[in-house]
Each structure stands twice: as structure tokens, then as C-alpha cells.
């Protein structure tokens, strides 16, 4: 049973920054999953972490998992609202592993910031970026845990089923069964190193291992 403590957004960012600095293996950049439903605004937390880590002398790379979605012809093979495809087939896990997570552990670490624009479906002509061994690689996205992706630290923004029903934008309401299944199959609350209760983003609560 996890124990949670109420926390302000500013203090949360500070505690997460401290955690990532402590967990740094020194051999390669720390690969961090920031896992949350797609409609949750994670950008403020990512920016706060980036600012805090830079202040401690740790370079930061940021990747959006959505920029590693499969080609639309594969994603939408069974329609644009197929729950099974969304749950297991939209994210190109092989590409994310090959272009981001594995290169971050190379002797000269690097990562590809994006592969494909998920809206236009066009390949993004970006070049790999170096990231020193002292760096931190933040990968934000949904349904990231339990998929065989090698992260050094996992952070899950937990939104309860009831809150998901309240918060989800109407165009994304069809995705709700995928998150229900994720809770059962993967149990991200039990799996993650850090869980942030995010039913009310203005009043989060945190549990750290």
C-alpha cells in the first residue's frame, strides 16, 4: 500500500529533481519516463524539471513519445478509434528503444528528439543530439510502463477512473477503456518509482519509493 503526501507543484518539481540527481548512475544519462494520459498537461512539470536539473549542472534532453508513433497506415488500420490499436500499436516501441533509450547508454550518448509528426504523419528531419553522461533524458507520454522499455526512473501521473471520465476531452473519450485496461494489466501505480496523484492538478499528492 503506497502512502501519499500532499505537495505543492513547486516542491514536487524540487523533490523530483533531487531524486533524479541522487539516482544518477554516472555511467550514462538517466532515462526517465513521465507517464500520464495524453490530455494531462505535463509540459509545466517537464519544464520545471529541466530548469531544476540545469541549475544542478545536469544537461537535459526532452522527448515526446507521441513523436514516435507508427505511420498512420499502421495506427489507423482498424480505424481511428480502435481501442486495441491505441493500447498496443500506436507507439513504435522499437523505434523509441532504438533511437532514444539504447543510444543514451552508448559510450558517446545521444538521442533522436523526434521521428514523425503524429498530426501530419510526416517524417521529422531531425538529427541525433548528444547528451553527456551527466545528463537526464525525459520521455513523456501515455501507456509507457510495462512495455519492455528500459527506463532508469519511472514517474506515473495517476488519474483515477472517475477523474478520467470528468477530465477527458470529448474527442478522446473513446480511449478511456485503454486506460482502464492499463490499470489492470500493468498496474502503473504499483510499478512506478514515483506516483503522483493527479485527479486535481492544482493539489497533487506524491509517493516515492
What pLDDT is stored for residue 1 in this prediction?
Answer: 80
pLDDT digits (tens, 9 = 90+) for 75-107: 999 999 999 999 999 999 999 999 999 999 999
**Residue 13 pLDDT exceeds 80:** yes
Beta pairing class for 129-130 and 30-35: unpaired
Residues with Cβ within 8 Å of residue 90, at least 6 apart in sequence: 69, 70, 75
User: What average pLDDT does this structure show over 1-24?
Assistant: 92
User: What average pLDDT does this structure show over 127-153?
Assistant: 96
pLDDT digits (tens, 9 = 90+) for 162-196: 999 999 999 999 999 999 999 999 999 999 999 99
DSSP-assigned letter for residue 199: S
Domains in the chain and their CATH numbers? 5-200 (3.40.50.300)
What pLDDT is stored for residue 68 in this prediction?
Answer: 97
Q: d(Cα 107, Cα 102) in Å, to the nearest integer?
A: 11
What pLDDT is stored for residue 27 in this prediction?
Answer: 86
Dihedral angle, C-alpha 154, 196, 53, 209, nearest 10 °: -60
Maximum distance among all Cα pairs of the chain, rounded to whole angstroms:
47
Q: d(Cα 139, Cα 163) in Å, to the nearest integer?
A: 24
**Residue 25 pLDDT exceeds 80:** no
Q: d(Cα 117, Cα 82) in Å, to the nearest integer?
A: 20
Local confidence band at 209 (pLDDT 50, 70, 90 cut-offs): confident
Phi and psi at 171, nearest 5°, equal -65, -20
What pLDDT is stored for residue 120 in this prediction?
Answer: 94
User: What average pLDDT does this structure show over 37-41?
Assistant: 95
pTM for the model: 0.96
**Residue 26 pLDDT exceeds 90:** no
Local confidence band at 111 (pLDDT 50, 70, 90 cut-offs): very high
Mean predicted lDDT score pLDDT of the chain: 95
Phi and psi at 168, nearest 5°, equal -60, 130
Amino acid at each position: 500500500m503506497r502512502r501519499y503526501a500532499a505537495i505543492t507543484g513547486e516542491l514536487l518539481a524540487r523533490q523530483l529533481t533531487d531524486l533524479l540527481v541522487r539516482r544518477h548512475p554516472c555511467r550514462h544519462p538517466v532515462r526517465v519516463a513521465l507517464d500520464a494520459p495524453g490530455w494531462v498537461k505535463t509540459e509545466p512539470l517537464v519544464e520545471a524539471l529541466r530548469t531544476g536539473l540545469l541549475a544542478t549542472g545536469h544537461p537535459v534532453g526532452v522527448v515526446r513519445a507521441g513523436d514516435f508513433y507508427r505511420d498512420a497506415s499502421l495506427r489507423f488500420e482498424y480505424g481511428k478509434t480502435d481501442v486495441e490499436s491505441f493500447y498496443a500499436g500506436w507507439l513504435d516501441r522499437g523505434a523509441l528503444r532504438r533511437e532514444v533509450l539504447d543510444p543514451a547508454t552508448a559510450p558517446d550518448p545521444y538521442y533522436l528528439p523526434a521521428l514523425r509528426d503524429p498530426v501530419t504523419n510526416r517524417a521529422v528531419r531531425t538529427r541525433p543530439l548528444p547528451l553527456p553522461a551527466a545528463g537526464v533524458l525525459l520521455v513523456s507520454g501515455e501507456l509507457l510502463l510495462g512495455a519492455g522499455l528500459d527506463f532508469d526512473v519511472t514517474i506515473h501521473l495517476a488519474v483515477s477512473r472517475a477523474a478520467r471520465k470528468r477530465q477527458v476531452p470529448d474527442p478522446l473519450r473513446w480511449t478511456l477503456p485503454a486506460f482502464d485496461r492499463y490499470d489492470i494489466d500493468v498496474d502503473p501505480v504499483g510499478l512506478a518509482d514515483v506516483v503522483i496523484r493527479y485527479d486535481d492538478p492544482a493539489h497533487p499528492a506524491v509517493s516515492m519509493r
